[in-house]
Structure 1
Amino acid sequence: MNANTEAIFKYLKQTNRPYSVNDIIQNLHKKYNKTVVQNALDELVKADHVMSKTYGKQVIYCIKQSGKNAEKKDASVVKEELKTKERELTEKQALLKKLQDENKQIKAKIKNLTQNLTTEEALVMKTKLVQEVTEKKTKLENLSNNVEVVSEADKKKLQETKEKLVKEYRKRKRMCTEMLDAVLENYPKSKKILLEETGVETDEMVKMETIV
């Protein structure tokens, strides 16, 4: 028995639990590669120090029990370990499905956004709308102050125009915000840096008054 086989045999005796080849590799912190571990286990099985059981595509190895009812002890240990592995597999499969579903939702959201506007178009549109609404609001305020030259009909028309622009602005702003959020999901830097690199200014950055 060489040093590698002896070390693996010692580990199996100390833990007295069944393991697959990969389990042993991971538990020993990859000190031994797969070939070394497999050869050691084959040697130990041949020497009747270790028993092996095949479950599906996986082979489980454990130290052979001694004393009365040793065969039953071997089967019981392997059975319990198999139950543990099946439970872990079920949990991992559930987690994988959850992650796959979340990934589908994210992809669908990005696809929906990109079909409407590209990121660059959305950012440009937001900046343009902010400027346009600000100009319209300033013009409306100036006209409203000059009551002698503005009729009620004109004021009503301007108010309707303002409301239409505000509604459109809010719609575009929401669309742009969703687009930014989608970009940020895979963007390696912060939102602040993204805004700086794209030249986009938020309402707060330009100290824009709240639109009502």
Structure 2
Amino acid sequence: MPPKKAAKQVQARGSEAEDLIEEYLVSQYKPFAINDIVQNLHNKVAKTAAVKALESLASAGRITTKSFGKIVIYACNEKELELPDGVQESEYRPETLAQWRNELAEVEKDNLQAQEVWQKVAREPTNEELPRLIKQNCQTAQQLRDKLSELQTNWEPQDEVVVERLMAVEAQVDKQLKLRARLVKNLLALIKDSVRPSNMAEFLVSTVELPGFAACSNTNSLIGRYRF
């Protein structure tokens, strides 16, 4: 047997269409055009019936309409503000709202300060961790005292002379390294400006054997070894 056709949806008309459209506009509390109303109601009301229902609702003052050229917008009537039980309208004056905003800003500021304090406290060791940390620091301090005592006991006058010489040599070597690095940098800049090689590394390694330089197998470096 062929499948039975689905029963055709019965569309609202007259007062039923008016109640349906008014209920929808009240629930949404925003304006709609006729096509949007019909579409959003999923064709429960035909467009022709919807037009008649909207005209009837507007004539009865149950909805508000506004025309923009050829387009008419429909919306439910504006609702009066309903305050909860025990709330007075005087509590919502502009001066009161401004005061509440200022109080809210102060509370948020205090909240940020409290969070900063909390984060600082959270970084501190807990009471349970303090004994272990104190013991660990005491052991470290004792080790340092023992090391210092050992150095003082085994210290010899000639050791001080050796240390001073080592420090002087280190300062001299550091000074020479900086000086020679500056000389090499200036020399490379001079070669680059005068010869203008396309590849400085290849030029230094394979093209010219400069006095004071030794070629290096690593062509990725600008120079291999600098001899003075």
TM-score of the alignment, normalized to the shorter chain, above 0.5: no
In our comparison, the structure showing a higher alpha carbon Rg is 2
TM-score normalized by the length of structure 1: 0.31
More RCO (CA 8 Å, sep 6+) = 1
